[in-house]
Structure 1
């Protein structure tokens, strides 16, 4: 009997024993069971999820509480700083991260996208080095998408994924070598309401979206991925403190032991996409060092985090129109250069972010503009020392690859480039001066994009092309949080419009009046969600949390 057979038999025996004796902890399914869902939500897999929640759900709540405390401190005037209590970690030169696992040695172009069957096949055929299989910001967390995405990944890993669209078009994987899959689970703050965890005291609570996404993928695919010469790899989103990275490391170590895998076979790449995390990059790498492959500059969520963090701190923390906050402004340059320096000092890959521009095959001028903007963005990243980058569309891969080829040549990375010329201080990360203003078009664009994205999100789409830009939850968060801040900080546009609740509410009405309505659209719901997260007196930390609980949860 093999090790995996023994592990699965042992897990099955524990699950059967709990069912017979009705003991806890346990995970129960409250969402509807659809076609093939039973292949993912097996008794053994649910037993594994129950163990993850039993061991780590409490620590997860502790970490979320710490986020709230830290955010409250910043809101009351205490700026984030490089931590004194962890200075010894930053000062030591005797540690490195695990680095690339099999199949992650070269990451010069990574494609991102949701995990529905069609997008999965397109990503696998794209020619990218890595596919970020996104169960987070590019996926609307409907019950169908959550479990359907797991099925897509299960089939893709085993080379058995096919898909026929409603129009009859058939999709198959034709690439001889497919990208290495790196799956992104939901962040620590998100819940999965279609699964309920019952603890040892019989108390029920929604499952953690993070542990569900990670646990199901890990349980079903880790051994198969290793057998095929790769491994279980993950992108970790929304981390704010090094202790959150440590929690993930503990989850990884337990999972490896539970499934009979060698310690360190998991590899994680952490998205630095919150302002607090920018001050703790070395600490995050250190806490994950046995499982860490690198860091990624998650630019859009990083901008959102800055707005959210400083939303009530006065006019000098107010950013201008969203399209003016580019990667070349001072605080964004400081953040990305520090990331490259930190990664290369510790043997970690530095992966660049995603330009929002996407090609348009029906508009030659728009297509040319997108390719030029993406090429410029990737040239900057490659020149700065990044080892790879993200794109959101297969047509952008050649442009991105060309810029990295010019710098890397035949090398798989540029970890030897230490960036000793970079000296980023706290003031550089917090200097939000841009010198541009807010325009009527900027306000109107934020309202329009946010409502149109939320409408698609409510219909189950997590990545949406709007005005030749790829919008996801992060860019929608920027749009609505800027509106909230501009109203509270009494901003006036360059044209003289005072940004008030009434002014924005009128723009919402304009968007609804101009929207192309159809049977089954969700524009009215989207407008209600937007008003709740952009016009309310209190600031919602994430637009998706309440919208998910209100609109996406299916009740039996």
Structure 2
């Protein structure tokens, strides 16, 4: 069934299903009762009651669209929403308190130490990440909510195992907190309604909003979010309706919530205007989520033919034509609508062990940030506090005291910005790009190293001087699958076969076992191998590695399936009582 694209559809009415308080089936840990209060759970139930059925429809529509593209359907700008794109009159809401200056935004998981380091970083914004930088074990998720609760109320501190104390600087110097909940595709197995796992998106947003919205407003900011992995404006519309409902339930003025959307999927790149339009009263702009965007480009066309194969990851820079088209369109679209355009991640992790290498990396990063600032971005991301000054200096040099560059208008059909569908997708090649054995080995190695950390509960991991999150595995394992599927010939003459990939994988697993110090470490290496085999070497390419890895290894042990989970097991959160999904996968 084709997804509806009209922007004039009446809003879907809230479900009339009886509202059932969620059941906590995960373990209770210290202070969990402060977050999982009866009132907070009832609030989540109301959000779920209105949104769960539509979420199921939208996820089914994603799968249906992916199936059609796999079989030859082309991506293009939506004909049914052309009037929104052509209408010059509408604008998003002006920047909210605390979001007027966004030169540099720190990102990272919501651990206690990271929370304090981020608040002390000197950044303008801290993106508190429950998504790609967090391995969402139950205790990690609720501890993250507790860390936000304490940080917002000026009572957060931490002492590590070595006795080092962490405390936060004066409140006037702290960045604005913006929370990134998990994406629509993910569930939270430890909270159920009618035996169905809840949407992880609603859990993360709902608990943060319920406990902190009024406190944030009283302190001169507001409940702000980053929205990940959207694939259509209809998914943005659902978020907007959630925001409207949440504000109404707590008696908070409409438009207080502000959300920045990460354009990190190829389908969303064709609906930037529409996404801003759906969220216009709650919009804080768009972000160029570069790594996930590259993954989405690979995944979208992975099965279309060898002509859609991209170069290895090291060659996929922001200066290649398709990425330039993507960022040009994002900046032009945002500024035309009065919205902030936020640049991509600076992922380098400085090391005192090799000062010369660190200096070379900082020089390269500065060039990247100089390019973003010159292109019109209003700010950018950094993954480490040491990168904040470099990122800030790059934007200060261009902004020269101005808060942003929203007044820099770039007509998308003029002034050098005329982006077409072909520009975004790229022209298929007649022969596969130059791919090396080193590139293949790196994809296998980085995937297994990251996954070993992920199944042990770490979502942000320093690998080869880069701060990697889940996007690392997504790019790497998708490329391995695509190269294997099309039997790509490497520069050295070898053909990518399952035997070759298995040989490389087994070698890396052996190295990881050699570094393991106890039975737990050895188990995590084997679990990482299983996730890689499941998501990179199977007959089909799974849309994401996280649903399988989460259900298989991160949920509390009593909830883990006895057998390998099936697609139906992974979609149990979409089986909503009294609701029939209207789009088939």
Sort the TM-score into its range (normalised by shorter chain): over 0.9
Instruction: Tell me, yes or no, if the aligned pair for 1:74 and 1:80 is still in contact at 8 Å.
Output: yes
How many angstroms apart in 2 are the aligned matches of 1:224 and 1:396? 30
CA distance in 1, matches of 2:251, 2:352: 48
Tell me the equivalent position of 1:15.
none
Contact kept in structure 1, 2:309 and 2:433, CA below 8 Å: no
Deviation at 1:546, TM superposition (A): 0.7
Q: CA offset at residue 362 of structure 1?
A: 2.0
1:400 CA displacement: 0.8
String of CA shifts for 1:498-530, please: whole Å, max 9, x gaps.
111110001111101222122121111101110
- The reply on whether 1:501 has 2:498 as its aligned counterpart is yes
Contact 1:99–1:294 (Cα < 8 Å) also in 2: no
Q: Is the 8 A contact 1:324 1:436 kept in 2?
A: no
The reply to whether residue 481 of structure 1 matches residue 483 of structure 2 is no
Does 2:522 correspond to 1:531? no
CA distance, structure 2, for counterparts of residue 115 and residue 361 of structure 1: 25
Whether 1:238 and 2:235 are equivalent positions in the alignment is no
Tell me which stretches of 4 or more aligned residues in structure 1 moved more than 3 Å. Answer: 432-436
Matching residue of 1:472: 469
Determine the structure 2 residue equivalent to 1:404.
395
The reply on whether 1:348 has 2:339 as its aligned counterpart is yes
Q: Does 1:99 align with 2:94?
A: yes
* Alpha-carbon distance in 1 for matches of 2:196, 2:284: 33
Q: Deviations over 1:480-508 (max 9, x none)?
A: 00000000011011011211111000111
Superposition RMSD in Å: 1.1
CA deviation vs aligned residue, 1:106-126 (integer Å, no higher than 9, x gap): 001001000000000000000
Which residue, 506, 511, 517 being the options, matches 2:508?
Answer: 511
Counterpart of 1:339 (choices 325, 330, 336) is: 330
1:78 aligned partner: 73
Q: Distance in 2 between matches of 1:399 and 1:188?
A: 34
Name the structure 1 match of 2:11. Answer: none
CA distance in structure 2 between the partners assigned to 1:331 and 1:306 by the alignment: 10
Residue 33 of structure 1: which of 20, 28, 36 is its match? 28
Distance verdict in 2 for CA 1:339–1:172, change over 3 Å: same
CA apart distance, 1:357: 2.2
User: How many angstroms does 1:453 deviate by?
Assistant: 0.3
Per-residue deviation, 1:90: 0.5
Residues 203-237 of structure 1: per-residue CA shift (max 9 Å, x gap)? x3101000000000000000000000000000000
2:460 aligns with: 463
Unaligned segments of structure 2, at least 5 residues: 1-17, 559-585
Is the 2:322–2:425 Cα contact (8 Å) retained in structure 1?
A: yes
Deviations 1:344-363 (Å, cap 9, x if unpaired)?
00000000010332211221
3-state SS in 2 of match to 1:188:
coil
> Under a length normalisation based on structure 2, what TM-score does the superposition of the two structures give?
0.89
Structure 1 Cα separation of the partners of residues 167 and 143 of structure 2: 17
Tell me the residue number matched to 2:549.
Answer: 547
Secondary structure in 1 aligned to 2:401?
A: coil
Quote the Cα distance in structure 2 between the aligned partners of 1:354 and 1:239.
18
Counterpart for residue 445 of structure 1: 442
Report the counterpart of residue 579 of structure 2 in structure 1: none
Q: CA deviation at 1:170?
A: 1.1
State the distance in 1 between where 2:395 and 2:231 align. Answer: 30
Instruction: Return the alpha-carbon distance in structure 2 between the equivalents of residues 550 and 165 of structure 1.
Output: 30
Structure 1 residues 432 and 477: alpha-carbon distance in aligned structure 2, compared to 1, 3 A threshold: farther
Provide Cα deviations, 1:451-496, integer angstroms capped at 9, x if missing partner: 0001100111000000011111012100000000000011011011
Aligned partners of 2:362 and 2:516: how far apart in 1? Answer: 32
Whether the aligned pair in 1 keeps the contact of 2:19 and 2:49 (CA below 8 Å) is no
Mapping of residues 252-291 of structure 1, within 5 Å:
252-291=243-282
Deviations 1:167-197 (A, max 9, x none): 2111110244100001000000000000001
Structure-2 separation of matches of 1:42 and 1:529: 35
Partner of 1:8: none
What TM-score do you get using the length of structure 1 for normalisation?
0.94
Aligned partners of 1:449 and 1:466 also within 8 Å:
yes
Residue matched to 2:184: 188
The within-5 A match list for 1:26-425 is 26-175=21-170, 176-198=172-194, 204-420=195-411, 421=415, 422-425=417-420
Partners in 2 of 1:216 and 1:496 — Cα distance?
54
Deviation of 1:320 after TM superposition, in Å, equals: 1.2
CA–CA distance in 1 between the matches of 2:348 and 2:496? 28
- Whether 1:426 and 2:441 are equivalent positions in the alignment is no
Alignment partners' CA distance in 2, 1:181 and 1:77: 42
Q: CA 1:357–1:436 in structure 2 vs 1: closer, same or farther (change >3 Å)?
A: farther
1:24 shift after superposition: 3.9
Q: Which shows bigger deviation, 278-287 or 176-185?
A: 176-185
Report if aligned partners of 1:30, 1:555 keep a CA contact under 8 Å in 2.
Answer: no
Shift of 1:432: 5.1
Q: Secondary structure at the match of 2:80?
A: coil
Relative CO higher for 1 or 2, CA cutoff 8 Å, sep ≥ 6?
2
Query: Residues 40 and 216 of structure 1 are in contact (CA less than 8 Å); yes or no, is this contact kept in structure 2?
Result: yes
Give 3-state SS (helix, strand or coil) of 1:85's partner. Answer: helix
Rounded to whole Å, the distance in 2 between the matches of 1:466 and 1:395 is: 17
Per-residue CA shift, 1:99-143, capped at 9, x if unaligned? 311000000100100000000000000000000000000000001
**Cα-to-partner distance string for 1:324-355 (whole Å, 9 max, x where unaligned):** 00000000000000000000000000000103
Residue 79 of structure 2 aligns to a residue whose secondary structure is coil
Question: Which structure 1 residue ranges, 5 or more long, are not aligned?
Answer: 1-22, 199-203
SS in 1 for 2:418: coil
